[in-house]
Amino acid sequence: MKTSLGQHTVLRQDLRINPRLYQAMDLLYMPLLDLQQHLKQELMVNPFLELLEPEEEEEEAPATPAEQRDAAEPGEAQATNWEDILLSGFDEGEWRPDTSEAREFTEPVSVQTHDLAEYLRDQLQLLELTDRQRLLAEEFIGNIGGDGYLSTSLEEIVAGANQILTEFAADRPDAPPPPPYSLADAETLLPVMQNLDPPGVAARDLRECLLLQLRDRGQTGSLAYRLLDEAFDDLIAHRWSDLAKRMSLDAGEVQGAADEIAKLDPKPGLRFSTTEGDYIIPDLIVEKIDGKYRVFLNDTNLPRLRLSRAYQEVARDKKKFVGENREFITQRLNSAQWMIQAIEQRRQTMLKVMNFIVDRQHDFFEKGIEHLKPLTLREVAEVINMHESTVSRVTNEKYVQTPRGVLPLKFFFSSALSTTTGEDASARAIKAQIQKLVGDEAAHEPLTDQQIVQKLREKGVRIARRTVAKYRDQLGILSARMRRRV
């Protein structure tokens, strides 16, 4: 075998993604708030971009990137000598991004609120406890979860408190070591912790939590307390007849007591949760105007960008720029032009996708969720001539404000189930029908999964019993036996 060197001509196709294409895909993926912050950052770092003021926007709506490039009015006064700064390659320290507006976009500081641990400590300060008890109580508080339950055993709490005592003694070798905590100390302090507010705190399981709440209400002699104390397993299994026979009562009385128990708080600590709610700002708006549904972009608060006329005039004389200066200016100018085009492309893509959804789901907007049609990302991609992944990015974490509420774009996509008429039905619409059937059923004779299958088949929907059971579980609906009322 002979080895040799040679040159050959080969023709082949390579798929190479431009870095700007990655950025364009990221812009499609961004929800409205993220995009808003991203554009504000771009305004600060790219001198060729400037903000189009609202009064200027009224005079010249920047519908296209070309219009935006010509939008700047002549004769704008500039106090800074941009020519010198551009020639120096922005290295003289004269130019700094204008941060006068930055304060407006500073992340707001949330107001400090008491969490559950602080709330419990405040109550302990009002109790007459020894220093030794307070240290053990602090160990209790450290092991109470956000839901209010004691997350560890008493033995582990004692071990943790003794570890603190050991470290305390090591720091003070001359002082006599404090006696270790025992399990009896923890058992003595446990009722003190469980008497704190909210009722049910420091419970070790659901049964104890509910018993503590009834005890706080002074209902230790009630049937509800007796059911929890003596027959908890039968209670959660809804064995009303067995419980009635066991306690020599009417089944209706047992179920009434169970209804009272259901009103108690199973996770009392969550009311002190510091988790802030997520605020949703819809990216799109659908309104019915003159009998037709119209789609609008909710981008009123989105910064409108345009190329700075002042920078363009300075950069137009290319003879003054050589080497790194010229490369820097070219790069920034191209980046600004591309950013404006990418934003416009994002707007058009989102409008295309939402307009198709509105056309396809017209019956949903008119009649409700039961008339939602099956739809996949591939169907949308084929109609608007885009890749399926692009449609996925457009719909991801985006919301639309409609006459039927604020909905995620993913809401309109669901799999299909066949019907006797030959048309497909949306899985989400089937779930809505199941929920309606269960809501309208007789309380003393709830519908079984097989009966739901029969009723759906009467409406022309072909569905298996196991599919009904799966949808019912997803909707959080109990089985027929668990829903039965006496």
Q: Any idea what the CATH number is for the domain that residue 457 is in? A: 1.10.10.60
Whether 131 and 191 map to the same domain: the answer is yes
Ramachandran category for residue 291: left, alpha or beta (phi over 0 → left; psi -120 to 50 → alpha): left
Whether 392 and 327 map to the same domain: the answer is yes
Alpha-carbon gap, residue 118 to 344, rounded angstroms: 50
Alpha-carbon gap, residue 190 to 204, rounded angstroms: 10
Query: Are 278 and 11 a contacting pair, CB within 8 Å?
Result: no
Q: Which strand ranges, in their side-by-side order, compose the sheet holding 399-402? A: 292-297, 284-289, 399-402, 405-408
Identify whether 107 is part of a domain: no
Cα separation values, 150 from 2, 140, 217, Å = 78, 8, 21
Whether 440 and 354 map to the same domain: the answer is no
Cα separation values, 282 from 32, 279, 407, 411, Å = 8, 10, 8, 14
Identify whether 81 is part of a domain: no
How many CB atoms are located within 10 Å of the residue 238 CB? Answer: 19
Whether 181 and 288 map to the same domain: the answer is no
Whether 409 and 425 map to the same domain: the answer is no
The number of domains in the chain is 4
Coil, strand or helix: which one is 411? Answer: helix
E strand intervals along 359-398: none
Would strands 405-408 and 416-418 be described as parallel, antiparallel, or unpaired? unpaired
Looking at 147, 176, 204, which one is the last position of a domain? 204
What six digits make up the tokens of 342? 């990418």
Q: How far is CA 218 from the centre of its chain?
A: 40
Whether 200 and 210 map to the same domain: the answer is no
Q: Residue 102: its pLDDT value, please?
A: 41
Alpha-carbon gap, residue 297 to 455, rounded angstroms: 41
Identify whether 136 is part of a domain: yes
Q: Residue 189: its pLDDT value, please?
A: 93
What six digits make up the tokens of 359? 């056309």
Identify whether 72 is part of a domain: no
Whether 283 and 267 map to the same domain: the answer is no
Q: Residue 335: its pLDDT value, please?
A: 78
Looking at 273, 300, 329, which one is the last position of a domain? 273
Whether 218 and 198 map to the same domain: the answer is no
Identify whether 369 is part of a domain: yes
Which amino acid is residue 332, in one-letter code?
Answer: R
Identify whether 84 is part of a domain: no
Identify whether 66 is part of a domain: no
Respond yes or no on whether the N-terminal peptide bond of residue 173 is cis (omega within 30° of 0): no
Alpha-carbon gap, residue 365 to 452, rounded angstroms: 26
Whether 365 and 402 map to the same domain: the answer is yes
Identify whether 332 is part of a domain: yes
Cα separation values, 254 from 192, 234, 245, Å = 32, 11, 10
Per the document, the length of the chain is 486
Would strands 284-289 and 399-402 be described as parallel, antiparallel, or unpaired? parallel
The answer to pTM > 0.75 is: no
Q: Residue 140: its pLDDT value, please?
A: 93
Whether 43 and 119 map to the same domain: the answer is no
Query: Are 148 and 267 a contacting pair, CB within 8 Å?
Result: yes
Helix axes 131-142, 154-171, angle to 10 degrees: 120
Instruction: Indicate if the alpha-carbon torsion angle 217, 223, 224, 229 is positive or negative.
Output: positive
Whether 409 and 445 map to the same domain: the answer is no
Q: Which domain does 328 fall in, by range?
A: 18-59+279-413
Looking at 375, 397, 413, which one is the last position of a domain? 413
Cα separation values, 401 from 112, 182, 294, 405, 414, Å = 32, 60, 12, 6, 19
Regions in the chain scoring below 50 on pLDDT: 15, 17, 58, 60-108
Q: Is 51 exposed, middle or buried (0-12, 13-18, 19+ CB in 10 A)?
A: middle
Sequence-distant (6+) residues with CB within 8 A of 150 are 140, 143, 144, 202, 203, 204
Whether 124 and 149 map to the same domain: the answer is yes
Q: Is 17 exposed, middle or buried (0-12, 13-18, 19+ CB in 10 A)?
A: exposed
Alpha-carbon gap, residue 397 to 291, rounded angstroms: 29
